[in-house]
Amino acid sequence: MKASIALTAAAALVAKASAACFAERLGYPCCSGNEVVYTDNDGKWGVENGNWCGIADAPSQAACWSLSQGYPCCSSSNAEVWYTDASGKWGVENGNWCGISTGSTGGSTGGSTSGGNVTPSGEQYTISGNPFKGVEFYINPYYVEEVDGAIAQMSDSSLIAKAEKMKTYSNAIWLDTIKNMQSWLEVFVVYDLPGRDCHALASNGELLANDGDLARYKSEYIDVIEGHLKNYKSQPVVLIVEPDSLANLVTNLESTPACADSEKYYLEGHAYLIKKLGVLPHVAMYLDIGHAFWLGWDDNREKAGKVYAKVISSGSPGKVRGFTDNVSNYTPWEDPTLSRGPDTEWNPCPDEKRYLEAISKDFKSAGIESVYFVSDSSRNGKKVDRKHPGEWCNQTGVGVGARPQASPVSGMDYLDAFYWIKPLGESDGTSDESAARFDGYCGHETAMKPAPEAGQWFQKHFEQGIKNANPPL
């Protein structure tokens, strides 16, 4: 597969979705026929069902070089250019790569802050400051395809309109198996440690907590990522690193034997990846710090400062830009109804904003030099129905939150971005009690049921999330 690494928290740069014809980029449908009623600088227009529609230029099969490489031709010679290599210009349609006919001037290009095409060669890019700032965000064509599948199951026109808007926002692509890394270059949530997610069953990974699988993690996973990143040195990349792993070392070593068994591999895995990937000047890495109702208490934050400082130091000379919070969780950014008291188990940080304000000071006191944050706002727009803030699985009452944005909060210069790291609509875990990966949390009262396996599409949860979006879609 052709690859364009762009700025991601596993996703990347460039905010325009693929289009089957020029009209879709302008908010009009493509025509099913080819009768021309009007022509302007954008292209040829027709009228169908009383509305304007764009007429796609028929691709020249003779000039469409991609057929010989096993890829179809794009439906229009004016298709948006997503990637250029020695073969020609590539577009994306229906979640797949397609070749743009020879002689096309192409649409707007993606994947580069300068507006040029993304190629493996080029001058070395160096990130300076907030990597989310001053760039456009890449639209994940695979998520667009998932949402299109969801729309096909809807009949409510207002709900369909909201779902269509979801396709215009960037989100992260999760890299959760070795196979995915060798097939996709667009996946940048690094998530495959041996003994992954040691305190939960729903998202356990393929690698076990043993020396042999640690060797595989290094050679078949991190080294492969490193090779791809070195090949695409001319554009910035963001990596969200191993959600939940280090937070488990802060709180669950004594209570969960699987976490004690995984400790060595979590530490060695982080040290290795920071050494390998943290020295690349076009890469910015963020380590996961759980959420407000995991590490928000004073003693947890103090211990976390020591754990994270040790981990970052172990990866020297590699550098870490900062940390990511609320990944795959539901804790609101601000919740003025909560304060330190019995309802919050005396947590002084009952929302993500107060959590980041506090932990930024703790981490600096622990000697961590670079303390910046990316906050996952994909599912925290509405306070969910959970009766305990530790509930994490497919919570009812979900609403998509703040849109992806760099430097979103005035006065918080250490907040690099709000970003959609966990794609709304992808399940947290199955509610099937007979399943091997069933976790009791997915059977709790406020967990939506029936739910599919983690990562699989959950239509009902997606529909509720877009209905409850805050701000509204």
What average pLDDT is seen over the chain? 83
Structure confidence by residue, pLDDT tens digits, 184-201: 334 388 889 999 888 876
Q: Is 211 tagged catalytic?
A: no
Examine the pLDDT at 317 and tell me if it is beyond 50: yes
Q: Is 439 tagged catalytic?
A: no
**Between 13 and 22, the higher pLDDT residue:** 22
Segment among 78-87, 215-224, 253-262, 435-444 with least mean pLDDT? 78-87
pLDDT at 101: 79
Examine the pLDDT at 182 and tell me if it is beyond 50: no
Alpha helices for 233-384 (secondary structure H): 245-251, 257-277, 292-295, 298-314, 352-365
Measured CA to CA, the distance from residue 369 to residue 364 in angstroms comes to: 7
Name the pTM for this structure.
0.76
Q: Is 40 tagged catalytic?
A: no
What's the number of CA atoms in the CB half-sphere (13 Å) around residue 109?
A: 18
Catalytic residue among 197, 288, 335, 416: 197
Examine the pLDDT at 57 and tell me if it is beyond 50: yes
Compute the 3-state secondary structure of the chain and give helix, strand, coil in percent, each to the nearest 5.
30, 15, 60
Structure confidence by residue, pLDDT tens digits, 70-101: 678 888 777 777 766 667 787 777 656 778 87
pLDDT at 458: 98
Catalytic residue among 244, 288, 325, 335: 244
Confidence at 294, pLDDT banded by 50, 70, 90: very high
DSSP string for 153-212: T---HHHHHHHHHHTTS-BPPEE-SHHHHHH-SS--EE---TT-STT-STT--SS-SSHH
Q: By the 8 A CB rule, do 261 and 209 touch? A: yes
Structure confidence by residue, pLDDT tens digits, 399-435: 999 999 999 999 999 999 999 999 999 999 999 999 9
pLDDT at 439: 92
Distance from CA of residue 117 to its chain's centroid? Answer: 22
Most distant CA pair in the chain, distance: 72
Parallel/antiparallel/unpaired status of strands 83-84 and 51-55: unpaired
**Between 463 and 37, the higher pLDDT residue:** 463
**Residues ≥6 apart with Cβ < 8 Å to 161:** 473
Confidence at 58, pLDDT banded by 50, 70, 90: low
